[in-house]
Amino acid sequence: MGAVAFVLKGYPRLSETFIAQEILGLERRGLDIRIISLRHPTDESRHPVHDEISAPVRYLPEYLTDGLARVWAGWRIARRLPGYKPARARWLADLRRDPSLNRIRRFGQACVLAAELPDAVTRIHFHFLHTPASVARYAALMRALPFSGSAHAKDIWTTPTWDLSEKLAEADWVATCTGVGATHLRTLAPDAGRVALIYHGLDLGRFPPPEPRPNSAEGPVTLLSVGRLVPKKGYDDLIDALARLPKNLDWRLVHIGGGDLKNTLHDQATQAGIADRIDWRGAQAQAQVLDAMRAADLFVLASRIAPDGDRDGLPNVLMEAQSQALPVLSTNISAIPELIEDGKTGRLVPPQDPAALAVALEELICDTALRQRLGAAGAARVRTHFEAGACLDALADRFGLEKSKTPPGQTPPGQTPPGQTPPEQAA
């Protein structure tokens, strides 16, 4: 087949290394990928996996006013394309239901994409069913190309139903990374077979087993959480739960990640009297994340549904922690129970329930043997059922590619060997 244009909202992004891992895996299977990004990167650093990707990157004007000459030139070319009139009609119908500047920007970006798309591209593939899918859809209509895509979390639950249904009806196929997401999208698709459940999995070549954890009762129990400081991650619930723990319980929390709620959460911790027990490290390089996972005693993520409907899918960071035999405490929401079986491969509590979270925290902080048992069971499950190569084979098949010839957990010849590339950043 020809080249495939991957339409992303932003590239590269620290919080979307699951996408970078997928792109690299498909490249290694022979897919010619051209990355189209709707935004320039805003993160100050990048992951090593981004440097291993060879696909060229083209940035569309993020705001039409920032590239008026380019948008004008793109529209002049796009309006002569055979599929421009159907695409314009589709966009106007969407605009009537969604009269927003964002909807106008999507069509302008699609015109630029359709005008500048290399002739070698024979398919457009999007990541996320909201903005990237709209741009891909309009551009594909203009160029009379098939389009497909991948759906993840927020895009599934915050995009209007009419928008989802129409995109699912027109796309060749859509892959999604959670069972709960697949079930929801299949109710909106014209036929269930159009939606494929394909887990991201974990590149075990980047996550070699850790050294045995020291069995010592000395010092505080180190809790680790890696994630953006946004409502769906439930960090206010975690702080509330920590404040409920017995005062004589010896613990400390390490948090890695940035986000808009930083100051609010810092103030909450201060008011709760536990600020001196929390180490807010901000966004960090991957090597530091791996070190933190290997130094911690327990990983905790209090995911929940945000007021706007946003929620996690299956956070890759949970698999990353488990790959290091780090026991995980999280919530029984979205697709997290698809990874963690409560009491067997980790612990789950109801979302937005700080009291229940505090009970589970106290139990795990006090019981070293329980942490070790859950950590070992979680690591075994990830390595048995969530190996990225096997998961990616299903997606590669959709693109007409051969399965990987590299055994699970091994790095392809000529690539960075295991242990030298640290783990993924939290989604």
The pairing of beta strand 57-59 with beta strand 33-37:
parallel
Distances 174 to 47, 82, 170, 365, 391 between C-alpha atoms, Å: 27, 25, 10, 42, 15
Q: Are 123 and 2 in contact (CB under 8 A)?
A: yes
Quick one: tokens of 345?
């491969």
Residue 249: both structure tokens together: 């319980």
Helix, strand or coil for residue 385? helix
Distance, CA of 40 to CA of 155 (rounded, Å): 20
pLDDT exceeds 90 at position 339: yes
Higher-confidence residue of 290 and 244: namely 244
> Is the pLDDT assigned to residue 415 strictly greater than 70?
no
- 314 contacts 178 by C-beta, under 8 angstroms: yes
The rounded distance, in Å, linking the Cα atoms of 64 and 103 is: 12
Cα 353 to chain centroid distance, Å, stands at 25
pLDDT confidence of residue 349: 98
State phi, psi for 148 to the nearest 5 degrees. Answer: -145, 180
Rounded CA gap, 320 and 315, in Å? 9
Quick one: angle between helices 131-143 and 101-116, nearest 10?
40
Delimit the domains of the chain by residue range: 60-197, 212-383
Which two three-digit tokens encode residue 28? 């290694």
Instruction: Say what the pLDDT of residue 214 is.
Output: 64
Using alpha carbons, list the distances in angstroms from residue 401 to 18, 144, 149, 375. 19, 23, 16, 35
Kindly state the percentage of the chain with pLDDT values over 90. Answer: 78
Domain spanning 212-383: CATH 3.40.50.2000: yes
pLDDT score, position 416: 37
Reported as a pLDDT band with limits 50, 70 and 90, residue 204 is confident
pLDDT at 403: 66
Provide the whole-model pTM: 0.81
Q: How far apart are CA 344 and CA 376, in angstroms?
A: 10
pLDDT of 423 > 70? The answer is no
Residue closest to 396 by CA, chosen among 185, 198, 186: 198
DSSP state of 254: E
Q: What is the pLDDT of residue 272?
A: 97
Report pLDDT for 271.
97
**Are the C-beta atoms of residues 298 and 329 closer than 8 Å to each other?**
yes
Distances (CA, A) of 383 to 199, 203, 371, 408: 13, 10, 18, 9
Distance, in Å, from the CA atom of 354 to the CA atom of 241, rounded to the nearest integer, reads: 5
First to last CA, the chain: 31
Neighbours of 356 (CB within 10 A): 16
Ramachandran angles phi, psi of 172, nearest 5°: -60, -45
210: tokens are: 């850790």
Q: Which two tokens stand for residue 204?
A: 């075990």
pLDDT, tens digit, 9 for 90 and up, residues 97-123: 999 999 999 999 999 999 999 999 999
Which pLDDT band, with edges at 50, 70 and 90, does 1 fall under?
confident
Distance CA 150, CA 19 (A): 10
Q: Which of 17, 365, 427 is nearest to 233 (CA)?
A: 427
